[in-house]
Structure 1
Amino acid sequence: MTPSLPWLDPEEAFPPVSQSWGSESPAPGLLAAGATLDVWRLKAAYANGIFPWFSQGQPILWWSPDPRMVLHVDEFKVHRSLRRTLQKFRQLPSCEVRIDSNFGAVIRHCSQTARSGQSGTWIVPAMIEAYEHLHEAGNAHSVETWVDGQLVGGLYCISIGRAVFGESMFAHATDASKVALAALVGLCRTQGVSMIDCQQNTGHLASLGAREISRARFLESVSRARTEDALDWSFKPVYWDSLLPPLKFA
């Protein structure tokens, strides 16, 4: 039998995440529906291990899966081909990583990217508008891969204190999204962030070193990190040194 699903009024608090639907249900991790996508609501959601995910025509749906897919930044896998790409990227003047230079373009490219096994996108217009407001509030960020002055890949994520929650990536050139993810990992390693939330298990994320942990362990980490000082959301070339051997100059 399908379990009941709480419907949230605009001002109503989230139910405990322990009430999320279990693995035997038709939608494991589903917690509630309704409410709004206001900045305060989104911040409250992420601070408690909850995120919105729904398609066009559906109500707002809120999720807190168990287990949770995360990337421990010291476990990020820089495979040989990616290593070569990063080494070349950081040495070419035409290649650069930018942060928050065009958040709107990044989230729209993510919404338009076709994904295996998905017929549509969950980054619907209401989500784009909501996350742009969250970006204006300083809690949503884009990490961008630029080549020859063109945006060719990137990702966007949420941050509360030193808790970082990955959302979506896109690439219009080979490895362009992986370059952005590597840059985010370098930023996190350098500034003392231990893990990046990936929400749900995919083969692509697993190939880069992400793995599942229990929701309880995830929430414990978030509860500590969210109270710490905010990150410096600017990219510094020295971040590459946490992933690659430092450049040597004659």
Structure 2
Amino acid sequence: MAATKGLGREVYQEAFERLGNISAVAREFGVCHRTVARSLRGKQTDPAIQAGMDAVGTGMVPAMAWIKTKGTKDSPGYSLMLKPAADDADPLERIREAFTDLPAAPLAPPPLYADDDLLTLYPIADAHVGMLAWGEETGEDYDTRKACDRLRSWVGQCVASAPASGTGVILVAGDLLHADDQTSQTPKSRHVLDVDTRHFRTLDMAISALAACIDLAAREARPGDRADPPRQSRSSQQHGCPLCPGGAIS
């Protein structure tokens, strides 16, 4: 931590010019993305908060800090909670920065023929990935794996029956996940939700299912429109797909 004490804009700027992105700079110095971004934008940290950061030897700007002073016979002591202004960086820019160092996924082979005058829309609504239902109580069992399997199956069937359109759109209309966060409660009324284990497991499985759906939609064409069998992806091998040799979605 002591190595980050006293770092200024010049240090971050030199590292940024050398490394090319804010995420890499933050990793090199062991500070958070926001600290580097604020410094490069020329924002000054409040002196009281900076004094506290220097006292503990950190370069990370805290989301909140308590500043306390001792009372004397002439003046009382004070205890203040300081909360720095919210970072006004563009969220999309921060997401773009976070993905800078990740290798791009290989492109799916395009169809040999597609009608540029057609657009196929694949709306996804109310998948409620992460919901847990007990069949004896609700009439049917439901969990994260079943939700993701159905999502892949539905998109696969739609792709198989859709015309070879020049443009495909996957529209996530809402309620893709059953719970918004790890509290497993509705955000406003705080009703407790029945969820299928860990929130980040649900996120990983939902992202994997959507990635498989995107891969399927990118290959949009009937099997007869291809001269060669399409390349099988791992997801289509596991779950079956009419576009793959021997595949079938039930």
The TM-score normalised by the length of structure 2 is 0.26
Relative contact order higher in (CA < 8 Å, ≥ 6 apart) = 1
The TM-score normalised by the length of structure 1 is 0.26
Structure 1 or 2, whichever has the larger Rg, is 2
